[in-house]
Structure 1
């Protein structure tokens, strides 16, 4: 219901703004100017905003002449009175974004996908990278600090355009690691303080970020950089990497799985491991994923001893997940402190969670048969017209052995909502499993541009991903919430570029491995990689989902699916012919 004062704002009715201030509630900024135009006349003007010192709480003090803020304001106003100066700065701004966006562009038959991958995904990623979760309308880093998990996920899109900024970010995050490999869960940049919560996944996001950076840049000098530990002493980035993984391997429970701690990626499962015995299946799959990546890294670097160590650890974790956590049709979510499973067919509520299914595939823990079965279970139990839910059925009773998720309203947030971050991982898992048509369906079901068609229901921006969309388990089905406050934009971007269009970085170069809808007969990607501009055209005359028959590089037949490396500043022309092999 629209209140009368909202529908009829006084300033609009009276034609006069009040120069009022607001310190609580929902603010709305408005600017009023009087402009007279003769017939056919044009006038150009500038509207600008900047910060000044806040007036004293005890006096009516305003901006004082001679103060730094006053002088800065006078200087800025003076410059902005020159319209040519404004034009110059605006052109610089446009050039910055043009250069940023041109580092990766796609052309597919899907205009909506093009729009998001080429512009809006990148913009949301840039904002979340620079501002973490502080930029949105909802709670974020200003209140809870900057999250390690967020910092290391918000890098895919930024890495292509600004690898040096990502390098600096990784070194910064290393500084919040303790000597034993544990980490602060969040931190405040100015005070260098933070909170050590004991979330099981937190230490693993550092190696995740390091490995992602190395594959894109091949800047292995990073591993030799020395960074101080949060509790004193220092070690190379390589040492920080190893300590993070070793700490997690030392934190396994009764079933040989990662202990839950105060939560994993899902912060609302905060009572599962409160007594230190609960175990997380998703967290164990994430650990397995990182271990597999460590094996690949140390194989490339020739560190055979470390390779064998982490390969053995991966195989043990994978075996434990498959031995203890397979429920018959899907993987359970975890074991509670009392040893009982949840996210199981034996439970009345919260029988199936999406994350253990998607990451069983992403980590390689599930074999082909189980991957197919558990993803089919996601489709059967979790699918909605607007994407897969985080769990089903939602909790209707508070369960103190699980935590906050059971206190959320059914169908909202972590209690059965269509969680876009979760959906992005299901999308990726389907691509890895080779089901392009199913993945494409998920992509469009969750795309904000599609869901925002009915703006009165959706209620969020149509150009950025929100944290979640209310599921059919609630009467406000289709209503979005917590826009910007999500890593899903980065994950959807990564998954489309690296696994759908199928151009992803490896230590040796760009790997070509598309998985696309059969209706895509021709599509292109231009991508900057290690200083080289790769212009890649895909031809799919037979309408297949997967399979590469031929690759031509600069007019010559290329026998490998990994594209050759060239001198920085080069342009590489690639043609890929898809078809059944």
Structure 2
């Protein structure tokens, strides 16, 4: 990690010290309707989202050119695409902002970007300073490649226009889009400055050139912006400021890049774009995230882990519960991330969860996603199963079962209580059965790529049946809390029936099968040529309390035997090497990538929870070290050290061994956070109160955690007395007195000092 950067400010910032990281290292910046990401050299995209996932892609490239008028040399404040020998380069990724620093030819610069909470825009702040010993005149030229007029296609039609708006100190476009309804409406992309400009461009062919590129824009070669308007050609957005600086003098400029959807929004954007307002809006962003993500703070001997968890994975969870995986509005992703969000902010999790419920069908089924103005099912079977688990987790943190009586609409406009939403989800899957009486696989369960195995409606998923058992048990806990005796009775009756079916038909002798396809063939069985064992049914057999007695240990022994590697735990083994049309796209992926025999970190976090439940301290420690991107004790990984990715590629990928899949857009951060808080540190929120059941890595002789729970604050300190890990609580002291009750005291406004001694 130190080769490329380091954490600072207790971990709230990560400083990247070179533009040449192994690949782009990203930061995501967002509000409820606008999202962008930027790498350490400013690379990234931005979009806005309206009703039912209708989207406008605002920009897919941003540059800040600096032109020295005396020498005609130019470079970029963001380090690329103009390649120069930049001095003092660094990029600071913070929670809600990114700032890039560099120096070239006696001019130091900084380029900061953030997304305010109150508009569909991003704010750029550019500062330049003359570090030479002579007067310098330079041009600062920020540029955005926009896609509001659509992605360029040779000889394609384009009817959009753009031009300069002097009253706004900027440029704006006129386009038409479906964003707030099924009807087209006029929208305007804008790029506005906080002071009068010396130049501008809105036509890409004028600024970049018909045959030019962003490394060598024609306008820069000619000395600056050309003053172009645009009618029916590819649009760009560029502004220019000419400034003369004495030695040591500096200047700062603020820009707003965004989309106006209604009359007056352009003018309002211009009014608020000034130095005082910009700094206040950034402060508002930082304060909002700090308030949303402060609910739990850990202090372990692993400082990098503290930085990662206390800031970055909580932030990743926050984003996922609102934006899912960004590509689309994945239902399971939002609901599951809301469950994890509850571990440190149950109030926000409840609001995000209720938003997701509005897309559920009134029969209990839940869609895969919503995008481009429509709800899309994609034949997925599992999305409803996450609803009961999220509901129970949030309610257990809040402690207010009356919340379950709140009325929330379904996607057809009819309404029911949250409790009824949960009940219908459980009932739907109970009735949605295939081979052996297991829940149908249909077009995919958690494994999106098993999309051909159950389309005929006969195939069934052992994993989804296990997940249903956990969801049903969670529903039963809510029924008990509300004294719904009949629901509780049938929950227990059905749960036992499904458990018996799984143990009878899903057991393969050494571990659990994953699924049966439409032809009745098992997937994840020793009888298979490839894909003999899958990880997640083994984990969920423990999480759902379906595996009992020796089977519980047997399946985890099988995981160790077949799936454990130095890089991490494989999600399946052996990988498929040719396409199997009775399974699906999983078998099209290269061996060792993602679901096809890769180290998929989301399930690895479930395994961390299971190892904690099994009280295996050594495996907890090993699992954490393998999951974390900055630990290389077992194997080197290549990805951002401050955020979690979805997977690591295995040795079957050859030169890509140890490289990461997608960062940020993954449930890994959310489930690592939940697994660490709830299982490793043992912060068990239940309706009666907060209970402790930790399973700590042996190396953590002492550690502590601060948790806000309901209206109290707990400062909990753990001490392990043995060298090889302790998994039994010997004593609990609360405010200096011995505490023997199962749940910690909880009084409004109280602060509790809790000391826990652990023994073998």
TM range (shorter): 0.7 to 0.9
Determine helix, strand or coil for the equivalent of 1:374: helix
| Residue 61 of structure 1: aligned partner | 162
Instruction: State yes or no: 1:388 paired with 2:569.
Output: yes
Q: Deviations over 1:284-343 (max 9, x none)?
A: 110011111122222233322211111111111111111111112111111111112110
Number of paired residues?
545
Instruction: State yes or no: 1:107 paired with 2:299.
Output: yes
Q: Aligned in 2, Cα 1:48/1:574: closer, same or farther, shift over 3 Å?
A: farther
1:67-78 to structure 2, matched below 5 A, reads 68=264, 70-77=266-273
Structure 2 CA distance for aligned equivalents of residues 179 and 273 of structure 1: 24
Q: Aligned in 2, Cα 1:49/1:452: closer, same or farther, shift over 3 Å?
A: farther
| Residue 355 of structure 1: aligned partner | 536
| Residue 26 of structure 1: aligned partner | none
Equivalent of residue 697 in structure 2, options 502, 517, 520: 517
| Residue 25 of structure 1: aligned partner | none
Structure 2 CA distance for aligned equivalents of residues 356 and 36 of structure 1: 62
The offset of 1:458, in angstroms, is: 4.7
Q: Deviations over 1:232-264 (max 9, x none)?
A: 432111111111100110012231211101100
Structure 2 regions of 5+ residues with no counterpart? 1-19, 25-40, 42-62, 81-99, 101-109, 112-125, 151-157, 169-263
| Residue 137 of structure 1: aligned partner | none
The offset of 1:367, in angstroms, is: 1.0
Determine helix, strand or coil for the equivalent of 1:357: helix
Q: Deviations over 1:475-534 (max 9, x none)?
A: 021111211121011111111111111112111111101111233222111000112111
Q: Give the TM-score taking structure 2 as reference length.
A: 0.66
| Residue 176 of structure 2: aligned partner | none
The offset of 1:48, in angstroms, is: 9.8
Contact 1:452 1:459 in 2 (8 A): no
Contact 2:339 2:391 in 1 (8 A): no
Instruction: State yes or no: 1:298 paired with 2:298.
Output: no
| Residue 651 of structure 2: aligned partner | 472
The offset of 1:131, in angstroms, is: 2.5
The offset of 1:87, in angstroms, is: 5.0
1:223-234 to structure 2, matched below 5 A, reads 223-234=404-415
Q: Deviations over 1:261-281 (max 9, x none)?
A: 110000111111111111101
Instruction: Tell which structure's C-alpha radius of gyration is larger.
Output: 2
Contact 2:593 2:650 in 1 (8 A): yes
Q: Aligned in 2, Cα 1:53/1:182: closer, same or farther, shift over 3 Å?
A: closer
The offset of 1:92, in angstroms, is: 4.2
Q: Aligned in 2, Cα 1:147/1:89: closer, same or farther, shift over 3 Å?
A: closer
Equivalent of residue 526 in structure 1, options 699, 706, 710: 706
Q: Aligned in 2, Cα 1:121/1:37: closer, same or farther, shift over 3 Å?
A: same
Contact 1:55 1:63 in 2 (8 A): no
Instruction: State yes or no: 1:175 paired with 2:358.
Output: yes
Instruction: State yes or no: 1:133 paired with 2:325.
Output: yes
Equivalent of residue 493 in structure 1, options 649, 673, 685: 673
Contact 2:511 2:555 in 1 (8 A): yes
Contact 2:466 2:546 in 1 (8 A): yes
| Residue 36 of structure 1: aligned partner | 130
Q: Aligned in 2, Cα 1:471/1:318: closer, same or farther, shift over 3 Å?
A: same
| Residue 124 of structure 1: aligned partner | 316
Structure 2 CA distance for aligned equivalents of residues 148 and 161 of structure 1: 21
Farther off after superposition, 109-118 or 263-272: 109-118
The structure with the greater share of residues assigned to strand is 2
| Residue 617 of structure 2: aligned partner | 436
Contact 2:469 2:544 in 1 (8 A): yes
Q: Give the TM-score taking structure 1 as reference length.
A: 0.86
Structure of greater relative contact order (alpha carbons < 8 Å, 6+ residues apart): 1
Instruction: State yes or no: 1:416 paired with 2:612.
Output: no
Structure 1 CA distance for aligned equivalents of residues 310 and 291 of structure 2: 12
Structure 1 regions of 5+ residues with no counterpart? 23-28, 135-139
Contact 1:63 1:69 in 2 (8 A): no
Farther off after superposition, 480-489 or 101-110: 101-110
Farther off after superposition, 63-72 or 376-385: 63-72
Q: Deviations over 1:333-362 (max 9, x none)?
A: 111111121100111100011011111111
| Residue 184 of structure 1: aligned partner | 367
RMSD of aligned alpha carbons: 3.4
Structure 2 CA distance for aligned equivalents of residues 368 and 535 of structure 1: 36
Structure 2 CA distance for aligned equivalents of residues 273 and 60 of structure 1: 49
Q: Deviations over 1:153-186 (max 9, x none)?
A: 1125533554333222222222222222112221
Determine helix, strand or coil for the equivalent of 1:125: helix
Structure 1 CA distance for aligned equivalents of residues 634 and 546 of structure 2: 39
Contact 1:452 1:458 in 2 (8 A): no
